[in-house]
Amino acid sequence: MQSHAALEYDYSVAKLFTYTTILFGFVGMLIGTFIAAQLAFPELNYWMGEYGTFSRLRPLHTNVVIYGFTVSGVFATFYYSAQRVLKVSMAESNFLMFVGKLQFVLYVILAAGMVVSLLMGYSSSKEYAEMEWPLDILTVAVWVLWGIVMFGLIGLRREKTLYISLWYFIATFLGVAMLYLFNNMALPTYFFSGGLGNIMHSVSMYSGTNDALVQWWWGHNAVAFVFTVPIIAMIYYFLPKESGQAIYSYKLSLLSFWGLMFVYLWAGSHHLLWSTVPDWMQSMGSIFSVVLILPSWGSAINMLLTMKGEWNQLTENPLIKFMVLASTFYMLSTLEGPIQAIKSVNAIAHFTDWIPGHVHDGVLGWVAFMIMASLFHMAPRMYKREIYSKKLMDAQFWLQITAVVLYFTSMWIAGITQGMMWRAVDEYGNLMYSFIDTVAVLNPYYTIRALAGVLYLTGFLMFAYNMYKTMTASRKIEAEPQFRSPMA
Amino acid sequence: MFHWLEKNPFFFAVGVFVVIAFAGLIEILPNFAEASRPVAGLKPYTVLELTGKNIYKKDHCIACHSQLIRPFKAETDRYGQYSLSGEYAYDRPFLWGSKRTGPDLHRVGNYRTTEWHENHMWDPKSVVPQSIMPAYKHYFTNIADIETAYAEAVTVKNVFKTPYGDEFQPTKEAWEAHKPIVLAEAKAIADDMKNKDVKEAVANGQIPEIVALIAYLNRLK
């Protein structure tokens, strides 16, 4: 039965995930800034005994920003936008509402378990897949519940054609499910040894080179399916909604989507160049990484051209500024990645700070910007209030841009400096520098990077404050704004 | 076709899955069996070494240290022979790392000693004045979990046929019988150390984490 009245969408689950996005964003970036400072000022390693060392906190930082902040943001924007593009409200199905809320509850338990267990040192030591097996099982549960809501809503939909954002959300769901399951295959040793030892401990099903391949097939594609695919889902929904512009090209969307799906997975082995992985696999990873520029830039250009003839919005609406900048950083990052995947460049770049530099121009400039912009756009519609402060948003923008630029420029210099020093030889062909020389030289860059962290974190606090005030104290609005978000 | 897919979510999802799945099959499977084969003469980790490896995992040493020597002269000059696939056959998980804030450790056992590690883990600056690595003093008092390492050895022996001896059995009795061997190995390392508390603990049948970690690092050759 189709009703003619406008649908009232239900944002209760979207709101819950909005809160965790803000919370984990703050916690994750705080830890990140702290460990950045530890590299510049090593005395900071001793503030809480064995739990406060760089090595213990680094996986906590990555896990909280990836699975806390980003994934919360993905869920929040999904629960907001999926209803709207499918023209069906969560409130129409008690079952889906229940599953959505259950997903949130399990997710919070999972996140708490993750933080505590990583601090305690329970870890598989596989990057971005550190959680031990009981938490892996819980992760699968959270993910399956999300899938139930996704396909449940799709089943109830009134709009027959799936909008582009949903393509990307579906791909996120499937991609992460496949990769996560295979990469985390491990045997809990307690059950295979007649009950000996710690019940949390597990051993990987793969060894050595195979484990490396599976791990970076995951590691690289966690970047694909958490930092890229769902963020593209966001920009395809929120940029047209905020600007009032239709997507520039449907064909370009098609090409970029299927191209990205096809090419991305191959590129994982570029993390293993010059390793013991067979040469043809390395070359494959290298070549497909370069090909990956096409679908990545396809999406980004599609976004920029969507703003064609409306560039004045860039000066009038800081939210458009956030989104356009995000797609620009997406372009930068997806050009930089393939450059680093060229074997000769990789020989210098690998193992250096250029790699975290690359990651962070992507995550700070693209992922976090897009998530914050999306939440800003959602706030007036979810809370029926205008955004608290445009000025604050503008200030946040410039502060965080400065931070990102400081971050990646310092890490570019640090990485290339160190990479070159490692291989420098004197006139007799002897190594010129001892390893510690190449560490000592990095101190100024580590200091700049820590400062960049402080600036970005400050910007994030401004975002959190702005959101909080929008939720609680801002001027109420009567009708839902059609495009541009109202702000004071 | 694409218009049709966009109206048929099930087939859309199947299409996406097929497109993303086969890259993994083609890149990972063909070499799987060969990459699992150990180099000649490779021995599985002893229980004490495995305990040390678990400490290495627990504290995420891979956040700053690699275990992968690339085939460049600058690397072989600095760290020794470049790494071979078969050397990692018993590494579950692999511990190559992705960042060298500190040096590579794949062959650290060739050029560092128990004594060096003891000084270094207690206070890195005492041996490398400009070091930015934190001290890990708690390794000298925390008691290592050797039973879990034994459980791991038994598991990989039974499931993956890692060549441990017949005495490795999934029973409490087998573990109790094996314990003295682990202790003897720990004592040999503690004898080379100067920390009195560590020596005393080992004499009392307790193995501080530092001893297991050094056993592991010495094994990396």
User: What is the distance in angstroms between the Cα of A217 and the nearest Cα belonging to chain B?
Assistant: 7
**What percent of chain A has a predicted confidence (pLDDT) above 90?**
96
- Minimum Cα–Cα distance from A183: chain B residue: B93
Q: In 3-state terms, what secondary structure has residue A425?
A: strand
CATH 3.30.300.30 fits B47-219, yes or no: no
Q: Is residue A482 part of a domain?
A: no
- B99: which chain A residues are within 8 Å (Cβ-Cβ)? 351-353, 355-356
For chain A positions 304-343, those within 8 Å of chain B (CB to CB) are none
Of the candidates B36, B91, B103, the beta carbon closest to that of A435 is on B103
Contact A168, A229 (CB under 8 A): yes
Min distance B152 CA to chain A CA atoms (Å) = 5
pLDDT tens digit sequence for B56-67: 999 999 999 999
Report the SS3 class of residue A206.
Answer: coil
Distance CA A282, CA A269 (A): 6
Query: What is the residue type of A183?
Result: N
Tokens of A166: 């949903």
Do residues A199 and A188 lie in contact, with contact meaning Cβ atoms separated by under 8 Å?
Answer: yes
Q: What is the pLDDT of residues B86-145, one digit of tens each?
A: 999 999 999 999 999 999 999 999 999 999 999 999 999 999 999 999 999 999 999 999
- Is residue A34 predicted with pLDDT exceeding 60? yes
* B101 in reach of chain A (CB within 8 A): yes
- Give the strand pairing for A202-204 and A186-188: antiparallel
| Chain-chain contact of B151 with A201 (C-beta, under 8 angstroms) | yes
Least Cα separation, residue B108 to chain A (angstroms): 13
Res A221: pLDDT: 87
Q: Where are the beta strands (DSSP E) in A151-260?
A: 186-188, 202-204
Contacts of A432 by beta carbon, 8 Å cutoff, 6+ apart: A421, A424, A425, A426
A181 touches chain B (CB under 8 A): no
pLDDT at A239: 97
Does any domain span residue A3? no
A83 CB-side CA count, 13 A? 24
Nearest to B93 among A154, A204, A425 (CB): A204
List the single residue in B with minimal CA-CA distance to A219: B98
Q: How far is A349 from chain B (nearest CA, A)?
A: 10
Provide mean pLDDT across the span B9-15.
94
- A170–B12: do the CB atoms touch at under 8 Å? yes
CA distance A300 to A359: 18
Interface contact B21, partner A, CB < 8 A: yes
Contact flag B132-A439 (C-beta cutoff 8 Å): yes
A3 pLDDT more than 60: no
Which of 29-58 (B) contact A at CB < 8 A?
A: 31-32, 35-36, 54, 56-58
DSSP H helix total and E strand total for chain A: 20, 2
Which two three-digit tokens encode residue B83?
């790494």
A99-112 pLDDT tens trace: 999 999 999 999 99
In this structure, what is the dihedral angle of CA atoms A236, A242, A245, A251, given to the nearest 10 degrees? 0
Residue A100, SS3?
helix
Give SS3 for A351.
strand
List of chain A residues whose C-beta atoms are within 8 Å of the C-beta of residue B128: 436
For residue A66, is it within any domain?
A: yes
Which tokens is A21 given? 């996005």
User: Chain B partners of A187 at a C-beta cutoff of 8 Å?
Assistant: 155, 159
Residue A4 scores a pLDDT above 60: no
- The encoded tokens of residue B27 equal 């890149």
CB atoms within 10 A of CB A246: 9
> Which CATH number does the domain housing residue A327 bear?
1.20.210.10
What average pLDDT is seen over chain A? 96
Closest-CA residue to A374 (of A252, A470, A233): A233
Inter-chain touch B19–A261, beta carbons under 8 Å: yes
Which whole number is the average pLDDT over A238-247?
Answer: 97
* pLDDT score of B6 more than 50: yes
Contacting residues for A71 by C-beta, under 8 A, at least 6 apart: A226
A105 Cβ contact partners less than 8 Å away, ≥ 6 residues apart: none
Give the start-end residues of each E strand in B30-100.
none
pLDDT digits (tens, 9 = 90+) for A301-325: 999 999 999 999 999 999 999 999 9
Nearest CA to CA, how far is A318 from chain B (Å)?
33
The total of structural domains in chain A comes to: 1
What the block records as the tokens of A277 is 């992985």
Quick check: bond before B93 cis, omega within 30? Answer: yes
**Residue A87 falls inside a structural domain:** yes
Chain B CB contacts of A55 under 8 Å are 59-61, 63-64, 134
- What is the per-residue pLDDT for A1? 43
In this complex, the residue of A39, A174, A352 whose CB is nearest that of residue B20 is A174
Over residues B9-21, the mean pLDDT reads 93
Measured in degrees and rounded to the nearest 5, phi and psi for residue A352 equal -105, 180
Indicate yes or no: CB of A192 within 8 angstroms of CB of B159.
Answer: yes
Distance from CA of A282 to the nearest CA of B (A): 9
The mean pLDDT of B179-187, rounded to a whole number, is 97
**B contacts of A449 (beta carbons < 8 Å):** none
Q: Are A404 and A452 in contact (CB under 8 A)?
A: yes
Return the CA Rg of chain A: 23
CA distances from B132 to A45, A59, A436, B56 (A): 10, 18, 9, 18
Distance CA A410, CA B160 (A): 45
Backbone angles phi, psi at A47, to 5 degrees: -80, -20
Show which of residues 441-460 on chain A sit within 8 Å of chain B, judged by CB atoms. none
* Set of chain B residues whose Cβ sits within 8 Å of the Cβ of A353: 99
User: How much is the pLDDT for A5?
Assistant: 57
Give A59-68 pLDDT, tens digit per residue.
999 999 999 9
CA distance A192 to A189: 5
List the single residue in B21, B91, B98 with the smallest CB-CB distance to A355.
B98
Contact A233, A169 (CB under 8 A): yes
Q: Is B216 on the interface with A (CB under 8 A)?
A: no
B62 touches chain A (CB under 8 A): yes
Cross-chain CB nearest to A431 (options B3, B78, B158): B78
Per-residue CA distances from B149 to A91, A307, A440 (Å): 51, 59, 37
> Binning pLDDT at 50, 70 and 90, where does residue A6 land?
low
pLDDT band at B34 (very low <50, low <70, confident <90, very high): confident
Nearest Cα neighbor of A334 from A280, A396, A270 is A270
Q: State whether B134 and A160 contact (CB < 8 Å).
A: no
- A7 within a domain of the structure (yes/no): no
Reported ipTM = 0.94
Cβ contact A455:A402 at 8 Å? yes
What integer pLDDT is reported at residue A463 of this predicted model? 98
Chain A residues close to B95, C-beta within 8 Å:
125
A420 found inside a domain: yes
One DSSP character per residue, A168-180 reads: HHHHHHHHHHHHH
What distance in Å separates residue B192's CA from the closest CA in chain A?
A: 25
Q: pLDDT confidence of B36, banded at 50, 70, 90? A: confident
Amino acid at B47: V
Residue A83: give the domain boundaries. 12-188+198-472
CB neighbourhood size of A266 (10 A): 25
| Nearest-Cα residue of chain B relative to residue A437 | B130
Q: Which residue has the tokens 């001793």?
A: A46
Partners of A435 on chain B (C-beta within 8 Å) are 78, 102-103
Residue A256 within a domain: yes
- Tell me the average pLDDT across A47-65: 95
Name every chain B residue with its beta carbon within 8 A of the beta carbon of A88. Answer: none
Alpha-carbon span A369 to B107, nearest angstrom: 43
The verdict on a CB contact (< 8 Å) between A204 and B149 is no
The domain ranges of chain B are 2-30, 47-219
